[in-house]
Amino acid sequence: MRGRPLLLACAGLLGAALGVSGCFTERQNESAKLYATHCANCHGARGEGLQRLIPPLARADYLVKNRARLACVLRKGLTGPVVVNGVEFNQVMPAADAHLTDSQITNLLNFIQTSWGNQGEVLTIREVEAQLEGCGVIPDGH
C-alpha cells in the first residue's frame, strides 16, 4: 500500500525531469515550427536563402520595404522577379491559401521579423487581418 504512491511519485519526478523543458517551450516554439514546416525547405533553416535561386529572409531589405503587404505575400504567394538586397530572384513562391490561418500568418511573420538578426517591427493580428482583407486584388503576375 505504501509503495505504490511512492512509485508514482518516483515516476512523476522522472517524468518531470524529462519533460519539463518540453512543457515550457511548446507555445514559444510554435512559430519556429511553422517556419520549419512551411518555409525552411526553400528559405533555409536560418533564413539564408539559396544562392540566386531563393531569396534570403535574414536581413532582407524586402521585409522592410514591403512590410505593409507581407501577410498577402504569404497567403497569395509570389510570381515574377523580385529584388532582395540588390539581387534579382525569379521563382514561384507557392500561396499558403487556407493552409495557414490569420493568426498563424501573424506568428510566422513575427518570427521572421525578429530572427537571424532581423529587427523588423512586429505585426499585430489586427494589422495582419487588415492586410489580408485587401489581398483579393493583389496582382499575381499573370
Q: Contact positions toward another protein, by CB under 8 A?
A: 3, 6, 9-10, 13-14, 17, 40-42, 44, 50-54, 91-94
Q: How far is the CB of 78 from another protein (least distance, A)?
A: 11
Nearer to another protein by Cβ, of 97 and 121: the residue is: 97
Nearest to 57 by CA among 97, 104, 93: 93
Task: Report the distance separating Cα 11 and Cα 43, nearest Å.
Answer: 42
How many other CB atoms sit within 10 Å of the CB of residue 67?
16
Task: Report the distance separating Cα 107 and Cα 71, nearest Å.
Answer: 11
Nearer to another protein by Cβ, of 7 and 130: the residue is: 7
Q: How far is the CB of 2 from another protein (least distance, A)?
A: 8
